[in-house]
Amino acid sequence: MSRHVVGIDLGTTNSAVAYMKNGKPMLIPSPRGQRIIPSVVMLDMNGQLLVGDVARSAQVAMPDRVIAAVKRQMGSHATVSMGGQEFSPTEVSAMILRELKGYVDREFGDGEKEAVITVPAYFTDEQRRATKQAGELAGFVVERIVNEPTAAALAFGLDRLEEEQHVLVYDLGGGTFDVSIVEMMNGILEVKASAGNNMLGGEDFDWLLVDWLATKFRKLHGLDPRRDIRAKSLLKEQAERIKCELSYAETAAVHLPVVTMKDNKPAGLSLDISRQEFTVLIDPLLLSTMDCVRRALQDAGLTTGDIQEVLLVGGSTRIPRVRELLVGMFGKEPHSEVDADEAVALGAAVQAGLKSGVLADSGLIVTDIAPFSLGIAVAGQRHGMKRTGIFHVIIPRNTVIPVTRTDRFYTALPGQRAAKVEIYQGEHEWVKNNYRLGEFLLTGIPVNWSGHEEIDVTYRYDLNGILEVTAKCVKNKKEQSLTVQDALERQSAEALARSSDKLRQLYEQAIQHEEDDIPWDEDEDIFAAEDEEETDERITPEELRRQLRLFDAKLEKLALMSDKEERKTIGQLRRKLKDALDAGDGDRMAQCLEMITDFLIEAQLREDT
């Protein structure tokens, strides 16, 4: 039996999962009916991992237990702290993906699941590898990583297979920016060029607002609220709200009775900020995105007049100034009929459909590009001196993949018997400023004291981002190869195994904690209705499921504000609810609905009194 293949947008701010259904990409909602979820993770007081809205709502109250925007640290060796424990960015991303996998398992049942996961076009090999590992830690099979602008173009182009045009995809999300130019030719989508910035997005706009608010607060009260972790989280929450509100309103009001304490008294902030003031703050960053647009056009050999459509992707494109800049450059209104927050996930589902064969008869063909130049370290003349560490490009950036390129080199010294091949990715002329991907040694070169031996180096780069490098001595045909992705994964296999064990133990501890706290008798039906005849048989199973998922969300939020005893009852209710949903038993679902309704009513009465 073939496995299900889904597409995932693992975003800085929000994440989503989708699949192909009846020839159309469809998002898989959460049990609460959410099409996208916040990419926020929390480790609560009980050691339980929470992902999504509940985690985000706890950011201000418990900032030391919540992690957000971890995508910006993917591929780095940094760790992040959550609830007194240290995690790698890959591990935190795996927690988000594991939450999404739960939705997939609920939709399709048991069995192996494969995921096509999107990344910014300007993600390095190391960042792509970290994303792939996060998917594997979450329990997915991950054989394909796809660029986010390419995915968005797929979502846009699926219903336009007969059209011929150049589309510019402007993707400004929560943490990254990409621009890609895609040529659509009767069902063929060919990426012509990409440019971007992995450290530019809505998060940066938020922090500029935080600094602005902090400056206003400091003038009023003489202290910097950013030194207080909770005050800083509160200002960040306000900044996100202001940014969204100013996308449709000319002004936004800030009224915070308590930001922090001064001399044991509450110090607050009350003011208005205009859209114009916000635009002044972020305009230098937005103007830098237009520099990337111009570079992509130049790399593609096109002008603004060659672009027929501009496609907006990412929540930050709702900022009016973004549309204003693009209209000013291209003289046409951008497209936004594909939801900016959902386009990447929907396009990932299209790529998943191509990979699984579901869209085999569609005629859709996609080609992508190498986002960075690939090459090796060589010695040569620079500025009149013989230098080592020069970056020689073999596959230039924006080369359509798959691609194979061979360049000829020469041994550096007379009598040289071996040559080290160092593999790099980047755009700088010196390898020390680029990303090192690996190295290997070609041995068995014939001794030549009178001249230099010829060495052919071949780069093969495929659609999955796997680079195979071969060095061959021309004279005796001796060769050595290295598959970069395999080599890098062998190096990180031990670390990946440690992460897998760490996450497994964390989830097991959370489950054990619940079982220790809540007395449980498998034979006791603690939710048996007192009068089964009162169950409303007219409610359809679909309606029951919908109501139970809504109630599950309410219980989840209520647990954060409850004492230990009440959390025990909530835990019982949620587990029974899950069992009933998984079983699909209408009677059990109806019983759960009745008991949860009674519990929530009683909880509200206690709060009111």
Burial zone of 138 (CB within 10 Å; 0-12 exposed, 13-18 middle, 19+ buried): buried
Distance of CA 486 to the CA centre of its chain: 23
Cis before 402? omega within 30: yes
584: left (phi over 0), alpha (psi -120 to 50) or beta: left
Residue 523 annotated as catalytic: no
Identify which of 399, 404, 442, 398 has the alpha carbon closest to the alpha carbon of residue 421.
Answer: 442
Residue 171 annotated as catalytic: yes
Contact indicator for 152, 171 with CB cutoff of 8 Å:
yes
Residue 268 tokens, joined: 């607050």
| Distances 28 to 15, 100, 107, 227, 583 between C-alpha atoms, Å | 11, 9, 8, 40, 19
Among candidate residues 148, 203, 309, 514, the one labeled active-site is 148
Checking 323-332 for CB contacts under 8 A at 24+ apart, the result is 325/286, 325/287, 325/289, 325/290, 326/170, 329/290, 329/293, 329/304, 330/168, 330/304, 331/304
Among candidate residues 125, 171, 342, 514, the one labeled active-site is 171
| Angstrom distance (rounded) from CA 190 to CA 474 | 35
Among candidate residues 71, 113, 192, 472, the one labeled active-site is 71
Residue 514 annotated as catalytic: no
Residues in the chain: 609
Beta-carbon-side half-sphere exposure of residue 252 (alpha carbons within 13 Å):
19
SS3 270: strand
Among candidate residues 9, 44, 136, 552, the one labeled active-site is 9
Q: DSSP E strands: which ranges in 58-187?
A: 66-68, 80-82, 85-87, 113-119, 141-147, 164-172, 177-185
The DSSP line for 296-350 is HHHHHT--GGG--EEEEESGGGGSHHHHHHHHHHHSSPPB-SS-TTTHHHHHHHH
CA angle 528/530/533 to nearest 5° reads 100
Contact indicator for 238, 272 with CB cutoff of 8 Å:
no
Which residues are part of the catalytic machinery?
9, 71, 148, 171
